Chain A
């Protein structure tokens, strides 16, 4: 029995659970009001923002001030706001958004509300840097967007190189860091960055958007202001977050979880990287006709994906569930999704029989061993059912 879908949403970190309970006692009031309970809530909110800024200064490799951090209702809402706000501020420059073909669907949907220029990846799922650099140099580009690491196959993206290319073209770079925060350090140089608390062990319902200092000016030591405006109604100077009740206890818990996860990140990452390496090798050795996906080295430590030839991805997920393993799949061998994962398509790899394993921090060696022991039989059984034996 094991939960291997941490990339969809990790179980609540114990520190987050504790902070959540405390903040529910103490931080229930509207922080904008003028009474003692509200002032207490305000203090908690300010402290959470300071804490997140401090954490991100390490986790995302460039100084982040508290007044650059905005809390949103989800990582998806943050991604939408990143793209819409950049387009709003860049109206005179252009509307086009250059993005990798393997962005999260939240970014793709936001970008698709206007003109887009998708940039391809290689078979390991790594951005075509040259094509990206050429695309951002074109006229009319409002924003360049790059996911920090693929949420489906784990391949780390060349964020620093993309940031350099975007900066030299005078285009802000937005990095969707949801897959990486708490797991792998995101390189600096970005103008906008977003994340999602439940992917680092915080509660669901907390997204964050950082509007950074912007790209350095080529001719001086000063910085351009990041061209971004709040894309929501009722935005006022001094109000960082979108209007509407903020789930303050969840924000407090998210900040506490991020701090806790980062404090133990190196140890956790090293241990999980060993386990995912064991899965990569074990799947390749134990299952015939399998493609283990993504960059074997430059990757998220806790995530591994593979595709099994002649296997229905949904059936495989069900069989693994029956055996006690929760995984996700980018396959489309089902009536609910017509298209396979756009990430697998862009990589040009096998899209059916796909499994994504993403390990939470407390995964044990025994759970991984059991998974590797069961998988070959399950795959063989499904192939036999489909009559796909000896092909």
Chain B
């Protein structure tokens, strides 16, 4: 697959279930194969984003702590369908 353009979704400051709702709205707007980066500081997102990906059959690529902002994680999700 060619290099994908990354789209960011800023969910900083949002509490559950808002980041997952935002993710569910945004991902279908991207082309299949595209990767969405979700920025979130809600600790529940660590459990809920991978769980949502499993329920919706989307590919969860993992999470990394933000290098610039403590407490914020960057979750990457690839739209597969």
In the complex, how many residues of chain A place their beta carbon closer than 8 angstroms to a beta carbon of chain B? 27
Contact (Cβ within 8 A) A388 B48: no
B6 to A: closest C-beta gap in Å = 22
Q: Does B1 contact A (CB under 8 A)?
A: no
Contact (Cβ within 8 A) A352 B44: yes
- Choose the segment among A159-167, A236-244, A333-341 that binds chain B (4+ C-beta atoms closer than 8 Å): A333-341
User: B residues 1-21 with Cβ under 8 Å of A?
Assistant: 15-18, 20-21
Complex interface bits, A41-55 against B, C-beta within 8 A gives 1, otherwise 0: 000000000000000
Q: Does A253 contact B (CB under 8 A)?
A: no
Contact (Cβ within 8 A) B43 A339: yes
Q: Does A122 contact B (CB under 8 A)?
A: no
User: A residues 311-366 with Cβ under 8 Å of B?
Assistant: 311-313, 331-334, 338-340, 344-345, 348-353
CB contact between A350 and one of B21, B25, B55 (< 8 Å): that residue:
B55
Instruction: Kindly state the separation between the CA atoms of A350 and B17 in the bound complex, as whole angstroms.
Output: 10
Report the nearest A residue to B43, measured CB to CB: A339
Contact (Cβ within 8 A) B50 A309: no
CB contact between B51 and one of A332, A334, A339, A349 (< 8 Å): that residue:
A349
How would you classify the secondary structure of chain A's contact residues: helix, strand, loop or mixed? loop
Complex interface bits, B49-72 against A, C-beta within 8 A gives 1, otherwise 0: 011100100000000000000000
B46 to A: closest C-beta gap in Å = 7
If A340-B16, A386-B21 touch, whether A331 touches B44 (CB-CB below 8 Å) is yes
CB contact between B21 and one of A332, A345, A351, A391 (< 8 Å): that residue:
A391
A310 CB contacts on chain B under 8 angstroms? 17, 20-21, 24
Q: Does A289 contact B (CB under 8 A)?
A: yes
A155 CB contacts on chain B under 8 angstroms? none
Contact (Cβ within 8 A) B52 A309: yes
Instruction: Kindly state the separation between the CA atoms of A334 and B48 in the bound complex, as whole angstroms.
Output: 15
Contact (Cβ within 8 A) B17 A352: yes
In the complex, how many residues of chain B place their beta carbon closer than 8 angstroms to a beta carbon of chain A? 17
Contact (Cβ within 8 A) A312 B44: no
Contact (Cβ within 8 A) A332 B16: yes
Report the nearest B residue to A335, measured CB to CB: B15
Contact (Cβ within 8 A) A333 B55: no
Contact (Cβ within 8 A) A388 B55: no
Contact (Cβ within 8 A) A391 B43: no
CB contact between A333 and one of B15, B24, B25, B51 (< 8 Å): that residue:
B15
B52 CB contacts on chain A under 8 angstroms? 309, 350
Contact (Cβ within 8 A) B16 A331: yes
CB contact between B44 and one of A311, A339, A391 (< 8 Å): that residue:
A339
Contact (Cβ within 8 A) A291 B15: no
Contact (Cβ within 8 A) A338 B47: no
A350 CB contacts on chain B under 8 angstroms? 47-48, 51-52, 55
Report the nearest A residue to B21, measured CB to CB: A388
Name, among B24, B48, B50, the residue most crowded by chain A CB atoms within 10 Å (CB to CB). Answer: B48
B4 to A: closest C-beta gap in Å = 23
Complex interface bits, A370-391 against B, C-beta within 8 A gives 1, otherwise 0: 0000000000000000111001
A309 CB contacts on chain B under 8 angstroms? 17, 20, 52, 55
| Closest A-B pairs by Cβ, 10 of them | A391-B24, A352-B16, A352-B17, A350-B51, A351-B47, A340-B44, A333-B16, A339-B43, A388-B21, A345-B47
Chain A positions within 8 Å of B, measured between CB atoms, are 289, 291, 307, 309-313, 331-334, 338-340, 344-345, 348-353, 386-388, 391
27 contacts across the A-B interface (CB closer than 8 A): A291-B55, A307-B51, A309-B52, A309-B55, A310-B17, A311-B17, A312-B17, A313-B16, A332-B43, A332-B44, A339-B43, A340-B16, A340-B44, A340-B47, A344-B47, A345-B47, A348-B47, A348-B50, A348-B51, A349-B47, A351-B47, A352-B17, A352-B48, A386-B21, A388-B17, A391-B24, A391-B25
Q: A311-B17, A332-B43 are known contacts; what are 20 more A-B pairs with Cβ within 8 Å?
A: A309-B52, A310-B17, A310-B24, A312-B16, A331-B44, A333-B15, A333-B44, A334-B15, A339-B43, A340-B47, A350-B51, A351-B16, A351-B44, A351-B47, A352-B16, A352-B20, A386-B21, A387-B21, A388-B17, A388-B24
